[in-house]
Amino acid sequence: MASNVDSPKGYMIFRPEKAGVIDILSLLIRRKSLSSYKFVETTEGFNTAGLHDDPWVIALTLLIQKTLKAISVPMKWMGYYLEFFFNLLALNGGILGLLWHILTFSLVIPKRDSAEFRSFIGLIDGRVDLYKKSSEMNYFELMYPESSLADTNVLDLSMMASKIAYENPAYVEKTVTDQWKMHFVGFYNCWNKFLNDHTTQAFICCDKAEDASVIVLAFRGTEPFNAEDWSTDVDLSWLFTGKMGNIHLGFLKALGLQNELSFLLGFPKEYSNPADKPVAYYAVREVLRSLIKQHPNAKIIVTGHSLGGALAAIFPALLSYHDQSDILNAMYGVMTFGQPRVGDTLLATYMTTIVRLKFHRMVYRFDIVPRIPFDMPPVAMFTHFGTCIYYSDWYKGQVVIDSPNPNYFDPMYMIPMYFWAWVDLLRALIIGQTEGKDFREGYISILYRMVGLVIPGVASHSPRDYVNAGRLSKIANKIMV
């Protein structure tokens, strides 16, 4: 895409709300130039020739986004009440306990801002303790700690931080301080001007309050019942950033982009962050700058699951673009889990040759999210970068160029996807006996796995599988092409 744009003001924005059924049918049948459709906005003079050669990619994406929009309200409320109900059960000791508390007028009502309230992600996997045992994941480059991090299980700390980033501030702080015995720095609820809401969350912690050796920045990921998050993940819109290439527009907005038509105006080097509407990139950047002055020997780990992984991937690129060498020099690496694609090959080259950080991303089996947005040139040219650790099984990790079935809808993978969804469900029923009580799965996790029997790849996106994969890792082949 970058080769078609000669200005840092280049962009292509898809507006699914402006696309009707007739437009989508026309896209598939008539194959007109994209610039002729009202749901596409591009830089003036941008050449869209060839971008309609595979119209089904755009049509499918628009259909997914329109479907998500249509179900967004019931989806949101379903998630709201399910979280409340399951927390009600958990806080009152299950069904029988709930009945007893009702009869004895001692019912515990869940409060969403309390340290005891868990998100749906936390209900699927309530583990919060850091893993004491080492695993064969130390085989991988990022897991070889420097001397200052010799006592740190980088993988497990990254994964658990990514998982609890889904929780409310009180829950996160309690976990960091009481369970991990670490220093909680802050929880950041950040503003997205295009969604007109605080939709981007992150937290920062250190291993110690004084002379810390580890600083962790974790971004919150895609929430299961948030249709807007899922729509952002599949979106094909991009913004040209100059030397960093084309970057996913939705993820830039989540980090704090201020102008969707110009990267230079959208992400200035300096920005006055409003106290009531903090912007994610600038807010956490300033906190990190302050922390590395307080802890000059500390190393920064940036992490996130799903959408959080996308933000973790782009964040160091923005630091580099703005010459924030003090923070980059203190950065140990980036570890993401179930991360969607965030940019094109030019961004991949920039990250590899300019930023040059240790960058690892983990993909569990047929997880749907790392396979979106689609990598289907010339329509969709999003691609991954960094070292991919792929799990074909709960225990077998491989370093791969890219995970199999990269665009999810390949018919030859349909049988394996459904087969392994059944295998994961059956294993979940017995893993507590085979691997110990720390791995036992509750009924909410089992119910969630059943979703994978209908839409394979959705259940594989659960942070539980990523935690299991890291903790029970057995190395297969080092590199698989």
Residues 282 and 66: their CA atoms lie apart, in Å, by 32
Contact 278, 190 (CB under 8 A): yes
The structure tokens 């437009």 sit at 23
Residues 238 and 381: their CA atoms lie apart, in Å, by 10
Q: In Å, how far from its chain's centre is CA 416?
A: 24
State the catalytic residues. Answer: 306, 367, 461
Contact 235, 66 (CB under 8 A): no
* Sequence-separated (6 or more) residues with CB below 8 Å from residue 60: 409
Q: Which H helix or E strand runs over 301?
A: strand 299-305
Closest CA to 306 of 217, 196, 224: 224
Residues 359 and 141: their CA atoms lie apart, in Å, by 9
Give, as one character, the DSSP assignment of residue 148. Answer: G
Secondary structure of residue 326 in the 3-state scheme: helix
Length of the chain: 481
Contact 390, 465 (CB under 8 A): no
Contact 439, 468 (CB under 8 A): yes
Residues 318 and 282: their CA atoms lie apart, in Å, by 10
Where are the alpha helices (H) located in 295-413, listed in sequence order?
A: 307-321, 325-329, 345-350
Contact 162, 170 (CB under 8 A): no
Contact 358, 301 (CB under 8 A): no
Q: Torsion over CA of 300, 305, 310 and 315, rounded to 10 degrees?
A: -20
Contact 389, 140 (CB under 8 A): yes
Contact 453, 421 (CB under 8 A): yes
Q: List the beta bridge partners of residue 247.
A: 239, 343
